[in-house]
Structure 1
Amino acid sequence: MATPQKSGSILIVDDHHDILIAAKLFLKRYFAHIEITTDPERIPSILANQQFDVVLLDMNFTKDISSGKEGFDWLQRIQNMDATLPIVMMTAYGDIQLAIKAMKMGATDFVLKPWENEAFLKTLKDAIQKQKSESANPTENYQRKFPNIIGESEPMLAVFNVIDKIAATDANVLVLGENGTGKELIARAIHKHSDRAQAPFVSVDLGSISASLFESELFGHKKGAFTDAREDRVGRFELAQGGTLFLDEIGNLSPHLQSKLLTALQSRKIVRVGSTKEIPIDIRLVCATNMALSDMISKKEFRQDLLYRINTIEIDLPPLRERKGDILLLADYYLEQYSKKYQKNMEGFHKDAYAALKSYSWPGNIRELQHTIERAVIMSGTPMLSTDDFQLKKQTSNRAILDDSWDDTSTLHDIEKQHIKKVMTTHDGNISSAAEQLGITRASLYRRLKKYGL
């Protein structure tokens, strides 16, 4: 009888060499490749260079004999490196509570040492089969990987795919998208699934930092560097040391401040205000903007060399109107969240409400949908929401606004000026509402109003 062809690759990590040898001798009869190591510190390099179907991970190492703390730490680190890789935990102490905790943290299963061969083999084969089944359904796989980002539409699956590919690298990332699309959630997902996940994630809204405080906020300052510098202060770059620095609204930086940022990124060193000492920085950079940086480059408003530095990878986050399949998912999610928050016994949406939510264009994207559902939950007197519970703005398409404003002889300058003027009129001069419809920040709109004398 022909011997069945073996397949599958297993990494076994245990600080007892005898256990590794025993496991390898038994499992190599059933699997094509068995890799073993007594040193958990080698896990990142091994996983970076080889593909495995399952990791068999000891729960206790010599540094931490019985609490499982070191095993839990490596469980999380492996998940951050590859959230789809099945991890089966081992413990020699028969502590079922540790095993249960490990599974709550994401372990696929566990085995107790000494193992019973048949059960041991079945546990590993079941773990591999479970992973293959999940891989066959990418939507479920991504939902498990990115539980804080809700979406099943094709545009969002494409975004998840990019995050999945680039998170474990150290490449700088530029996230593009309109206001309210969830750019910071994407940045946090990249950080969570990177090798830097255990280090800080530091978020900076560049649109809210004045030019005079830019260097102090990002690079820090020494006591006495300026009038209000009463003590030494660590800047955001240092706070993010070893982790991820997220710079939101990077398109709002003036060319002068862009130059200072570029210098720090090129040299990977910063100097606190009031000091001459260079401080090395080790950060992964993720930036975001709702502005068209390529257009800004052509207008000399953004440095091309800075763009090259920050956009090794670009992620284009779709507006909510281009992912209509996710609108009802998000609506249901926020209904549940705000029902709990405000202690309201909400049951769901009437059909007309669903239809209204799906047909609306959501110029404010997810943020607008979130606020709409929150208000409806607060104000509704019935457990089922209807169209009347929503205060959706009367829709006026940008195309309709533009149609009577330009002809074939109009320049881009003319079109933008007329478009902004029309939108400002539509919103009775309300800067926040106009900026939201235009998909730019308030600061950006103020600059354009000044530029065009509006």
Structure 2
Amino acid sequence: MIQARILIIDDDPDVLTALRLLLKKEVVEVIIEKNPEKIPAILSSESIDLVLLDMNFKSTINSGNEGLYWLSRIKELKKDILVVMITAYGAIDLAVQSLKQGAEDFIVKPWLNDSLIETVKGLLSRKENKDLKPKNTQMALADVIGESDIMKAVFYKLGKIAPTDANILILGENGTGKDLIATAIHKQSNRAKQAFVKVDVGALTDSLFESELFGHKKGAFTDAREDREGRFESANKGTLFLDEIGNISLQQQAKLLTVLQNRQVTRLGNNQPVDVDIRLVCATNIPLRELANESRFRKDLIYRINTVEIQVPPLRDRGDDILLLAEHFIKRYADKYMKVISDIDKKARKKLLEYHYPGNVRELQYSIERAVIMSENSVLSSEDIIFSPIENAQAQLSSEKNAHNLIELERNTIIKVIEKHNGNISKAAKELGITRTALYRRLSKYNI
């Protein structure tokens, strides 16, 4: 038993009772209180080591969020006291904000008993040993690189939600790394040893949508020469990642909603439903406020896919992360192309930091790869770094609000780059700083 006293503040009597019964075997004393306005009096009369504090109360305090208010009051009264916030999925963003205001950690309702006990005992033990250090908020996230505050908040949020089975919606501009975040969620989840199945649903036609996702029986349609399981069945017990979810039609949304509600799929040409157990992760570059327009996206489906949302910030908001990423890509492509390049000069660093990156991390990646290929020195210079002409054209003309010129300039730029590479789509896409799929879409759009 740890020689410590815990104060639990929550206006739900059931929560207070459950936490008291859970923790009373771990510490000397557990004090419970429904009214947060009694916090100052309790702290002045009792020796408290750790506070478990709810984020929301039916309080007279008109602060927008009572949890953050009472966190600040606790820290004013006793600066060194440990505070762990109690929150629900919908308030995780506020809970992450509480970490910046002095909270040590937060737990999410409904909590896992073992995890909660481990969190509390860990904090109290380190305090007892006078070795309390801030919790490392950076996850081991493969190629997801960042040390900015905005990315640390993302990493911490991922660390909390990845081990759960909550459905996650990843939001962010094109090129921000939403697919890497989805992969990281799977690797940090309890399903990490099972399948991770990715589908670009935005690229599926109506005729392919059901067959690709739900599977088909032999003879279900002209080209169905054999039985085939869909992506839902392939991801059974694992994670299914639906990319570009915001681009599917209302008819496709209705079919997807039925499967998510029933957790069953029925292959085309078959009447026998199959149970599926998947963790769903979705991504889109469409802002949530636009998805909320029911003429575009069903609200009932949004609620199904969006238990928790992750907003991946644009590269322009990430400060010195730009240089970290640039150094990472330099090493990768120097190794790939067997070049001896070890650094970036001062002017090049300034150029990288001042650019606005309409294509985000993907644009930076292609720009660095191009610079490494073309450079003849061991240090990249400002002249070596050339940003995507197609992204620059889009950004410039967008600011001028000239849609006609934008279309013409983008079309002409694509034609020139393709001609330069004698019709090689891969090389053209790389120079333009976009994916081959994105280039094919533009070729179709402009009838090139």
Query: TM-score w.r.t. structure 1 length?
Result: 0.63
Secondary structure class of the residue paired with 1:427: helix
Q: CA deviation at 1:441?
A: 6.4
Which residue pairs with 1:263 in the alignment? 258
Tell me the distance in 2 between the aligned counterparts of 1:436 and 1:296. 27
How is 1:280-299 mapped onto 2 (pairs within 5 angstroms)? 280-298=275-293
| TM-superposed deviation, 1:248 | 0.2
2:445 and 2:295 mapped to 1: Cα distance? 15
| 2:360 corresponding residue in structure 1 | 365
Counterpart position of 1:424: 407
The within-5 A match list for 1:54-65 is none
Describe how 1:37-436 pairs up with structure 2 within 5 A: 47-48=114-115, 50-51=117-118, 132-133=132-133, 135=135, 141-298=136-293, 300-393=295-388, 401=397, 405=401, 418-419=402-403, 421-428=404-411
> Is the contact between residue 249 and residue 288 of structure 1 (CA under 8 Å) also seen in structure 2?
yes
Aligned equivalents of 2:163 and 2:150: distance in 1? 22
Aligned partners of 1:350 and 1:384 also within 8 Å = yes
Partners in 1 of 2:364 and 2:265 — Cα distance? 40
1:13-52 to 2 correspondence within 5 Å? 47-48=114-115, 50-51=117-118
CA distance in 2: counterparts of 1:380 and 1:153, whole angstroms:
29
Name the aligned partner's letter for residue 203 of structure 1.
Answer: K
The 1:267–1:444 alpha-carbon spacing in structure 2 relative to 1, beyond 3 Å, is farther
Contact 1:224 1:231 in 2 (8 A): yes
Q: Does the 8 Å CA contact 1:172/1:309 hold for their aligned counterparts?
A: yes
On the 8 A contact 1:205/1:247 being kept in 2, the answer is yes
- Per the TM alignment, residue 425 of structure 1 is displaced from its structure 2 partner at its CA by 3.3
3-state SS in 2 of match to 1:180:
coil
Q: Secondary structure at the match of 1:424?
A: helix
| In 2: Cα distance, 1:370 partner to 1:153 partner | 18
The CA deviation string for residues 158-186 of structure 1, in whole angstroms up to 9 with x for no partner, is 21122122112211111011111000111
| CA distance in 2: counterparts of 1:443 and 1:182, whole angstroms | 21
- Counterpart residue identity of residue 181, structure 2: I
More displaced stretch, 336-345 vs 233-242 = 336-345
Does the residue aligned with 1:288 lie in a helix, a strand or coil?
strand
Determine the C-alpha separation between the residues in 2 that align with 1:289 and 1:254. 14
Look up the match of 2:22: none
SS in 2 for 1:145: coil
Distance 2:174 2:2 in 1: 54
Change (3 A) 1:448 1:342: closer
Q: Distance in 2 between matches of 1:129 and 1:225?
A: 67
Verify the 8 A CA contact 1:242 1:283 in the aligned structure 2.
yes
The amino acid that maps onto 2:332 is Q
Q: Distance in 2 between matches of 1:360 and 1:181?
A: 15
Structure 1 53/203 Cα, relative in aligned 2: closer, same or farther at 3 Å?
same
Q: SS of 2:198's equivalent?
A: strand
Give me the whole-angstrom Cα distance separating, in 2, the residues matched to 1:396 and 1:52: 48
Q: Deviations over 1:297-329 (max 9, x none)?
A: 437122121112111111111111111221000
Cα pair 1:363 1:436 within 8 Å, conserved? no
What is the CA distance between 1:143 and its match in structure 2? Answer: 3.6
Q: How many residue pairs are counted as aligned between the two chains? A: 327
**Alignment partners' CA distance in 1, 2:227 and 2:398:** 52
Contact map agreement 2:238 2:278 (CA 8 A) in 1: yes
Q: Distance in 2 between matches of 1:284 and 1:130?
A: 40
Report if aligned partners of 1:251, 1:293 keep a CA contact under 8 Å in 2. no
In structure 2, what is the Cα distance between the partners aligned to 1:374 and 1:442? Answer: 18
Q: CA shift at 1:145, angstroms?
A: 3.1
Find the aligned partners of 2:398 and 2:194 in 1 and give their Cα distance: 48
Task: Give SS of 1:324's match.
Answer: coil
Quote the Cα distance in structure 2 between the aligned partners of 1:322 and 1:447: 33
SS in 2 for 1:314: strand
Return the offset for 1:155: 1.6
Q: 1:132 to 1:218 in 2, by over 3 A?
A: farther
Shift of 1:51: 1.9
Q: TM-score, normalised by structure 2?
A: 0.64
Q: Are the structure 2 counterparts of residues 134 and 210 from structure 1 closer, same or farther at C-alpha, using a change threshold of 3 Å?
A: same
**Structure 1 residues 216, 364: closer, same or farther in 2, change over 3 A?**
same
Q: Residues 396 and 380 from structure 1, CA distance in 2 versus in 1: closer, same or farther, beyond 3 angstroms?
A: closer
Distance 1:274 1:247, change over 3 A: same
Matched residues, percent identical?
A: 46
Q: What letter corresponds to residue 352 of structure 1 in structure 2?
A: K
Write the letter of the residue equivalent to 1:329.
Answer: L
Letter of the 1:209 partner, please give it: L
Deviation per CA, 1:235-272, whole angstroms, max 9, x where unpaired?
11011111111000011111111111111111111001
Q: 1:214 to 1:400 in 2, by over 3 A?
A: closer
Q: What is the root-mean-square deviation of aligned Cα atoms in Å?
A: 3.7
Q: Does the 8 A contact of 1:207 with 1:443 survive in 2?
A: no
Contact 2:214 2:233 in 1 (8 A): yes
1:264 alignment partner AA: V
Q: Provide the rounded CA distance (Å) in 2 between the counterparts of 1:159 and 1:52.
A: 20
Question: Once the 2 structures are TM-superposed, how far is the Cα of residue 49 of structure 1 from its aligned partner?
Answer: 5.0
